[in-house]
Amino acid sequence: MAKFEEVGIRPVAISVDTPELSRNLAEQAGYSFTFLSDPKADVIRRYDLLHASAGTNGQDIARPAEFLVDSSGTVRWVNLTENYWVRARPDQILEVAKTLR
Amino acid sequence: MNARRFNWPIWAGFLLSLIAFLSYFFVFVWFPVTRDFPWANLLLFAIAAGLLLVGVRRAFSTGQSSREDSPPKVGDRPRPRRSKIAATVLTTLSVAIFGFFIFSIFIMARRLPASHSAPRISQRAPDFTLSDMNGRPVSLLELLTSPVNGKAPRGVLLVFYRGYW
């Protein structure tokens, strides 16, 4: 993740987790990037990423997705995985990140 | 002799099926090469299937083939009924584990919403304001403008994840 910051990209993680839960996760794993909390899934809905009742207790959660947004706010790269075990690899994203100005 | 009567391939096959299932979630999921396609687990399942096949043949063999060319031994007697039951039960369980693995990796994990209206390349990312882990509200605009490593950021990588609830 530090590699992203080296090329001027800010990684931001978004989920329905509460700020407390994210803080615990970040502390345990030693993550220093931004975690944002969307407990009511408002933003997740706005991005059409809602996976309804997919949580262990039937909560609405986000499906995995990654967006690279340039400094003007335009989406430059998207990954909407079709299998939640398969995620974008950091090196793929870094390649695209280097083309941004 | 007890060691000869013990049908180890059945038990090894069953244990290996369990390992093949669990190792994906605890080991192989951490490496992209073995995560994106679970070939390592499928290989373990294949070896387990081989062991189970050997075990089933041992459990259900009458022992006659070896009696022809060697003097009868205790271990060559037809196996008792409980050995056949154990072989059947363990093989069935292993097949169920394999089925559940295929279901969770290839079917369950693909039940994702279509997300047709998700922002696409060259579209604007919808702005938002959310709380960070200290409860402070942060907007996308702020993320795009406040410095990274002392410089204006080139961009922001938004990573939506399922979360841990």
End-to-end, the C-alpha distance of chain A in Å comes to 19
What are B26's two structure tokens? Answer: 């605890």
Answer yes or no: do B97 and B29 share one domain: yes
- Is the residue at B9 inside a domain? yes
* Contact across the interface for A14 and B159, Cβ inside 8 Å: yes
Answer yes or no: do B68 and B141 share one domain: no
pLDDT at B68: 47
Answer yes or no: do B135 and B55 share one domain: no
What are B33's two structure tokens? Answer: 């090469």
Inter-residue contact B41 to B21 (CB < 8 Å): yes
Average pLDDT over all residues of chain B = 84
pLDDT at B158: 93
- Is the residue at B121 inside a domain? no
* Contact across the interface for B119 and A34, Cβ inside 8 Å: no
Predicted confidence (pLDDT) at residue A5 exceeds the cutoff of 90: no
Interface of B with A in 19-78 (CB under 8 A): 29, 32, 35-36, 38
Phi, psi at A78, each rounded to 5°: -135, 145
Chain B residue numbers with beta carbons less than 8 Å from the beta carbon of A3 are: none
Answer yes or no: do B77 and B142 share one domain: no
pLDDT at A55: 74
Answer yes or no: do B132 and B103 share one domain: no
Q: What is the pLDDT of residues B58-76, one digit of tens each?
A: 998 865 544 445 454 555 5
Give me the mean pLDDT over the B99-117 stretch.
84
Long-range pairs, A26-30, Cβ under 8 A, ≥24: A26/B133
* Dist. CA B139–CA B5, nearest whole Å: 69
* Contact across the interface for A8 and B160, Cβ inside 8 Å: no
pLDDT at B67: 45
Shortest distance, CA B133 to any CA of chain A (angstroms): 4
Answer yes or no: do B64 and B97 share one domain: yes
- Residue whose tokens read 């995560």: B35
Quick one: CA dihedral A34, A35, A40, A43, positive or negative? positive
Give me the mean pLDDT over the B22-39 stretch.
86
pLDDT at B43: 95
Answer yes or no: do B65 and B133 share one domain: no
Max alpha carbon distance in chain A (Å)? 43
Residue A74 DSSP symbol: B
Q: Does B149 touch chain A (CB under 8 A)?
A: yes
pLDDT at A83: 77
Answer yes or no: do B87 and B18 share one domain: yes
**Which tops the pLDDT comparison, A25 or B17?**
B17
Q: What is the pLDDT of residues A31-83, one digit of tens each?
A: 888 999 998 889 999 999 888 887 777 788 888 999 999 989 999 999 888 77
The domain tally of chain B equals 2
Q: Does B102 touch chain A (CB under 8 A)?
A: no
Interface contacts (A, B; CB < 8 Å): 212
* Dist. CA B144–CA A72, nearest whole Å: 8
**Which CA distances in Å does B1 have to A73, B8, B108?**
75, 14, 47
Predicted confidence (pLDDT) at residue B51 exceeds the cutoff of 90: yes
Which residue ranges make up each domain of chain A?
Answer: 2-99
Predicted confidence (pLDDT) at residue B3 exceeds the cutoff of 80: no
Instruction: Give the residue on A whose Cα is nearest the Cα of B162.
Output: A62
Answer yes or no: do B132 and B72 share one domain: no
SS (H, E, C) B34-95: HHHCCHHHHHHHHHHHHHHHHHHHHHHCCCHHHHHHCCCCHHHCCCCHHHHHHHHHHHHHHH
* Contact across the interface for A71 and B154, Cβ inside 8 Å: yes
Please list, in sequence order, all residues whose beta carbon lies within 8 angstroms of the beta carbon of residue B13, skipping any fewer than 6 positions away: B48, B49, B50, B51, B52, B53, B54, B55, B90, B91, B94
* Contact across the interface for B140 and A9, Cβ inside 8 Å: no
- Is the residue at B164 inside a domain? no
Chain A residue numbers with beta carbons less than 8 Å from the beta carbon of B118 are: 47-49, 65, 78, 80
Domain covering A2-99 in this structure, CATH number = 3.40.30.10
Chain B residue numbers with beta carbons less than 8 Å from the beta carbon of A68 are: 155-158
Inter-residue contact A53 to A80 (CB < 8 Å): no
Shortest distance, CA B42 to any CA of chain A (angstroms): 15
Q: Does B134 touch chain A (CB under 8 A)?
A: yes
* Dist. CA A80–CA B43, nearest whole Å: 28
pLDDT at B1: 46
Residue A16 DSSP symbol: S
Answer yes or no: do B14 and B61 share one domain: yes
Residue type at position A17: D
- Is the residue at B117 inside a domain? no
Chain A residue numbers with beta carbons less than 8 Å from the beta carbon of B139 are: none
Range of the domain at B91: 2-110
pLDDT at A89: 78
